[in-house]
């Protein structure tokens, strides 16, 4: 069979003339195991959430347990407040009270110094359900804090949270809690981002911002040095390419000019052969070797007596015209073949 117990707490004396705060949230039952000064107990709140779930809301706060005592003789037991919400805080049970005007006046005047909860409990002392509470001046349960000390602490915390999160002065507990959750989520996201940056910088997760900044600076400096070296390498490659081009042109000029001196009919095509030789030396040199010379033993020796020496420039021009004519007809011949055909035609 469940038993019913009532307890009360002591309120400290208030400074003379100081106004008393009227708390919205009050502690109804302490956490853990407790007992009264009169020796009753011990009682235990083993599961605050279960007690809250078993309690029927709202329940009354009267004066001096008038609800329980008045039931015997039918006397009045007016409500001075109603507990409309219960909350577990570190094992203790708190209640949000909607005070009646008379209840507010009684607390503001310090007419009562404590709160006395009535609850059911098992034989072993485990608290099962809250039934009601009463304003009282009979101290018994010393574990509960003073009524006029509860709300200022709560309000100070709420005010600090408002200021910390930049909330308006009238923001309630729900807004403060939501701001805390948002801040917590932002901190978590910030940590995740830092870990990602740390990993990108070659560091292990969990590094602080200073270590990450140092790693990024080092990487940036290294990247700058790498960029400088890459620029120098590009410049060197450009210089090498220019040098190779220059050497190839010099070699081409030497080969082509030697061929001209040997009587090869390419003087008019000197620039053409130099450009080709710079790109494909072997092919051009083979072609030049196959060209007949316009000197002794060459074209001149094969012309009829008195015809005079053939003009190398004229031969080259005719050979190029022959190449163009053959190309237009869909046939390709090289310069050596074209010269040979021009010379052969001149000798015929």
**Token pair for 230:** 């890459």
Could you tell me the CA-to-CA distances from 196 to 47, 96, 186, 203, 216 in Å, in that order?
Answer: 41, 44, 15, 9, 13
How far apart (Å, rounded) are the C-alpha atoms in residues 26 and 145?
9
Q: Is the whole model's pTM more than 0.75, yes or no? A: no
How far apart (Å, rounded) are the C-alpha atoms in residues 130 and 87?
12
Q: Taking a C-beta distance cutoff of 8 angstroms, is the pair 30, 45 a contact? A: yes
pLDDT of residue 146: 52
pLDDT of residue 87: 95
Q: Taking a C-beta distance cutoff of 8 angstroms, is the pair 141, 11 a contact? A: no
pLDDT of residue 19: 54
pLDDT of residue 15: 46
Residues of the chain with pLDDT under 50: 8-16, 149-153, 296-298, 300-309
pLDDT of residue 306: 39
Three-state secondary structure call for residue 53: helix
pLDDT of residue 132: 93
How far apart (Å, rounded) are the C-alpha atoms in residues 27 and 31?
10
pLDDT of residue 145: 57
- Strand duo 92-99 + 25-29: pairing: antiparallel
How far apart (Å, rounded) are the C-alpha atoms in residues 250 and 242?
12
């Amino acid at each position: 069979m469940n038993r019913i117990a009532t307890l009360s707490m002591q309120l400290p004396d208030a400074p003379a003339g100081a106004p008393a705060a009227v708390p919205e949230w009050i502690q109804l039952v302490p956490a853990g195991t407790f007992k009264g000064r009169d020796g009753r107990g011990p009682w235990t709140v083993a599961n605050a959430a279960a007690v809250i779930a078993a309690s029927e809301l709202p329940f009354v706060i009267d004066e001096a347990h008038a609800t329980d005592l008045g039931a015997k003789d039918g006397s009045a037991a007016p409500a001075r407040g109603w507990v409309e919400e219960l909350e577990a805080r570190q094992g203790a049970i708190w209640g949000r009270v909607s005070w009646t005007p008379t209840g507010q006046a009684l607390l503001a005047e310090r007419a009562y110094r404590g709160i006395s909860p009535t609850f059911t409990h098992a034989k072993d002392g485990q608290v099962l359900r809250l039934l009601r509470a009463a304003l009282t001046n009979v101290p018994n349960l010393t574990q509960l804090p003073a009524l006029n000390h509860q709300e200022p602490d709560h309000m100070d915390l709420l005010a600090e949270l408002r200021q910390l999160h930049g909330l308006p002065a009238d923001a309630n507990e729900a807004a403060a809690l939501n701001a805390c959750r948002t801040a917590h989520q932002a901190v978590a996201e910030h940590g995740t981002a830092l870990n990602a940056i740390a990993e990108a910088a070659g560091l292990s997760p969990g590094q602080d911002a200073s270590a990450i900044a140092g790693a990024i600076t080092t990487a940036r400096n290294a990247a700058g040095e790498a960029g400088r070296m890459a620029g120098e390498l590009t410049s060197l490659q450009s210089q090498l390419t220019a040098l190779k081009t220059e050497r190839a042109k010099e070699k081409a000029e030497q080969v082509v000019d030697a061929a001209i001196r040997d009587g090869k009919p390419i003087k008019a095509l000197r620039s053409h052969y130099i450009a080709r030789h710079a790109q494909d030396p072997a092919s051009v040199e083979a072609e030049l070797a196959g060209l007949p010379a316009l000197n002794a033993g060459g074209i001149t020796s094969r012309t009829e007596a008195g015809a005079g020496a053939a003009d190398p420039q004229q031969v080259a021009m005719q050979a190029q015209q022959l190449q163009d004519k053959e190309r237009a007809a869909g046939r390709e011949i090289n310069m050596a073949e074209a010269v040979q055909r021009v010379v052969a035609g001149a000798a015929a």
